[in-house]
A = this chain, B = another copy of it.
């Protein structure tokens, strides 16, 4: 299949074809009227725009279960990410290989970052160690941090941080689950702070359906 139409792609993605065409148009005019989009060319252009055509060396700090899971995760390589080093504070782990990569000690963090030209760091340490690790990564030249530790990191301007909360998606499922369960039954309450009366009439949004605060 050398070419594909916006209609086909939109059906596959479950979105409106006009939206898809407009989104693509922000990247450039890569389609051919009457024909569609050249698949190979489109894939390349999107890959390039997203940075998939570059090699991104990353370090993972904190090689517990989560760090090890990330080191073994297959999805990184195909998106241009290369795990350049694994770092942990536990001397017992130093030298041991995880996913074929030797774990190095935190003492050498700065040297590892500089030797490998790393600009993206992944923090998978316990919450207590995260800020300190973050500070050292930033001082060593890292400008983007992916934080799996359950704590908010503070960083200087110019450094990007994204926090991954493994329970937030579960939270969203539970929210919908709750709605499924309570479709006819009365609102489950169970008490709550005494003293203050609940206003029954105002519990739901004006459309009487899904409160507007939750992703669909």
Across the two chains, which residue of chain B brings its CB closest to A126? B74
Assess whether A189 is in contact with B48, with CB atoms less than 8 Å apart: yes
Beyond the given A38-B196, A120-B174, A120-B177, please list 19 additional residue pairs across the A-B interface where CB-CB is below 8 A.
Answer: A26-B205, A26-B206, A27-B202, A27-B211, A41-B192, A41-B193, A44-B192, A45-B198, A50-B171, A56-B174, A65-B66, A66-B66, A80-B174, A81-B170, A120-B170, A120-B173, A146-B173, A158-B180, A162-B173
Assess whether A81 is in contact with B167, with CB atoms less than 8 Å apart: yes
Assess whether B27 is in contact with A79, with CB atoms less than 8 Å apart: no
A27 / chain B contacts, CB cutoff of 8 Å: 202-203, 205, 211, 213
Across the two chains, which residue of chain B brings its CB closest to A50? B175
A101 at interface (Cβ–Cβ under 8 A)? no
Assess whether B160 is in contact with A176, with CB atoms less than 8 Å apart: yes
Q: Which range holds the interface residue count of chain A?
A: 35 or more
A205 / chain B contacts, CB cutoff of 8 Å: 26-27
Q: Give bound CA distance, A23 to B171, whole Å.
A: 18
Given known pairs A41-B193, A79-B170, A172-B162, the reply for A202 and B120 (CB within 8 Å) is no
